[in-house]
Structure 1
């Protein structure tokens, strides 16, 4: 199974769901995080080439942050490039599983704004909250949220949905 960069998944959200208002950076971070977590609930290997880090406003993919930071809170309308003179990376349409997940994530979380999604990732019992509590709510630089913790949390949520 191919792995994608966080930017490729964010760009796929933009290409498929941005509309004329676009999607702001923080919301893209949270949508990519939910795609990462839900993928791990059902698959043994991560969908992305990097895992989320523990940041003040929730789980963040640092490479995605670096690429989108200049947009601040403005809506991003079009897929973004990681480097000049290249095409913006996206998840190929032929990857039915990943595209299906991205569309499912949009259906489940797309109606929420950035701050609501951030609050949801901070809720008691979430991977971010558990890891933040272990660190006395300090956010050490480059502290990865363990995949096992993310997987376990999303598997529990998947079981609850199945029941």
Structure 2
């Protein structure tokens, strides 16, 4: 269904940070929702699409995460993270501004879910029939840190998420 290399999870997270500071957890959940929505939209169009991200989410004991983002943002703990281009002269790590379609897509995700708290987003990502809940439940919640959540779980989980969020 999805092919090719997309953006890093950090590029997507930093693009979402352009809307304002957010916690590591909120960035993980918003990035997972964006990844899920992108897969779901590709599924609906029945066309091969380029993957939004160059990595897949894994089923971590506390929910779906992107390992590379986790390693880099974990030191922030629960503190809010500010956009990395906010210091004058700083290098931007966001999705390039010339990639308008992707940036508009991420803006739409933020408009739909950005007002939610990190705990509300976490609840959405853990609700019954979510990708994480189904995958973890099938393993009796004995999940490792490197088990990729399959695309079919993510697509059906996103379908449940949008039904619950409407």
TM norm. shorter chain > 0.5 = yes
- What pairs with 1:4-153 in structure 2 (closer than 5 Å)? 4-14=7-17, 16-18=18-20, 22-43=21-42, 44-79=49-84, 87-153=91-157
Task: Tell me if the contact between 1:127 and 1:145 (Cα under 8 Å) persists in the aligned partners.
Answer: yes
Give me the TM-score of the superposition, normalised by structure 1. 0.84
Gaps in structure 1 of 5+ consecutive residues: 81-85
After TM superposition, give the deviation of residue 156 of structure 1 in Å: 6.3
Q: Would you identify which runs of 4 or more consecutive aligned residues in structure 1 move more than 3 Å?
A: 155-158
SS of aligned partner of 2:22: coil
- Which string of whole-angstrom CA distances, capped at 9 and with x for unpartnered residues, describes residues 96-146 of structure 1? 221111111111111111111111101001100100101101221201101
- Which structure has greater strand proportion? 2
Aligned residues: 152
Gaps in structure 2 of 5+ consecutive residues: 43-48
Give me the TM-score of the superposition, normalised by structure 2. 0.82
Q: 2: CA distance between counterparts of 1:122 and 1:157?
A: 10
After TM superposition, give the deviation of residue 157 of structure 1 in Å: 5.8
Q: 1: CA distance between counterparts of 2:95 and 2:122?
A: 24
Q: 1: CA distance between counterparts of 2:117 and 2:142?
A: 25
User: CA RMSD, aligned part only?
Assistant: 2.3
